[in-house]
Amino acid sequence: TTSRRLADRKVERFDKNITKRGAVPETTTKKGNNYPVGPVLLGFFVFVVIGSSLFQIIRTATSGGMA
């Protein structure tokens, strides 16, 4: 019958896709650096940490070793 032929055609079409599962071409995969934070945020963090440590060293040196 017609509905059986349509069903068979639909099954054939989807059966072809089953063999292609997992075969993703490398051009569509994401390439590059996957850093959890951006370079600007990392630079700001380094600036704050190094700046505060330098400030602490200078403050300790000018107060004569007594905080």
Nearest CA-CA partner of 58 in 67, 47, 45: 67
Q: What share of the chain is helix, strand, coil (3-state, %, to 5)?
A: 60, 0, 40
- For the chain, the straight-line distance linking the first and the last C-alpha, in angstroms and rounded, comes to 93
Whole-model pTM over 0.85: no
32 domain residue, yes or no: no
Q: How confident is the model at residue 13 (pLDDT cuts 50, 70, 90)?
A: confident
Residue 23 or residue 39, greater confidence: 39
Residues ≥6 apart with Cβ < 8 Å to 25? none
Q: Which domain holds residue 49?
A: 4-23+37-63
Q: Residue range 37-42: average pLDDT? A: 88
CA geometry: angle 34, 40, 41, nearest 5 deg: 80
Q: Is the predicted pLDDT of residue 67 greater than 60, yes or no?
A: no
How many domains does the chain contain in total? 1
53 domain residue, yes or no: yes
